[in-house]
Amino acid sequence: MLHKTRGIVFKTTAYGESSVIAQIFTEKFGLQSYMINGVKKPKAKISSNMLQPLHLLDLVVYHKNTGNVQRIAELKNSPVLQSIPYDVIKSSLAIFLNEVLYKAIRQQSADENLFDFVFSAVEWLDNQTTGLANFHLLFLIQLSRYLGFYPDRYMMNDADYFDMKNGVFSKYKPDSVSYLSPPHTQNFNQLLDCSFENIATLKFTNDERRYQLNKLLEYYALHIEGFGHIRSHEILEDVLS
């Protein structure tokens, strides 16, 4: 049976001489694997350029509730990204976010709120010209809401510490070794209070941005089993410095 759905490209893996298996996060079915034949051929209907990380798609797919590799009947980029593939900062951000999303989102079932957030965030990044240096930090904070471990903001304004293991603010140093302390707690609070619309108001130094990112990745690793080590953030930090 054919279904129409939007999608976001996460990863492609070569299969044979000219085919790929694409991991695509879909609005209707969650994360799915699709076999796409002939993408490397000169006159391919679906080319490898259409399947770059975080490219946005309109799809017509065949779907079976078997968990196996699915098939695509039609695919087009919609909307076509205008700046992410060509801007070194945006493309570096996309590679980093793509790695995080691939490790964090594994469900083969629909989550329309999560999908809408990621889709809209990619569109925003593609159209934005300011505030890019802190985009990934705010994205990680807001993504945690949809993944189920958004920080509990109770006592946020009166606390000196953020307990990352339990996701709560505290006046006292946590027993855990995973926590934020002043002044990093207050900078973390700024992220929680921020939105994409006013992201340009965030004024972090390169060192503070790097510190917040490392702590956010530690926070993700604490709350997502098997999250592991993110490699692309080191390249991203160099680009943003």
Distance CA 155, CA 77 (A): 44
Asked whether 196 and 124 are in contact (CB, 8 A), the reply is: yes
Asked whether 172 and 185 are in contact (CB, 8 A), the reply is: no
pTM given for the model: 0.93
Q: 3-class DSSP state for residue 139? A: helix
Average pLDDT, the chain: 92
pLDDT tens string 118-146: 999 999 999 998 889 999 999 999 999 99
Q: What is the pLDDT of residue 43?
A: 82
pLDDT tens string 29-42: 999 999 999 888 88
Q: What is the pLDDT of residue 76?
A: 96
Write the CB contacts of 21 (distance below 8 Å, at least 6 apart in sequence): 12, 13, 15, 33, 34, 35, 36, 69
Residue 133: count other Cβ atoms within 10 Å of its Cβ: 19
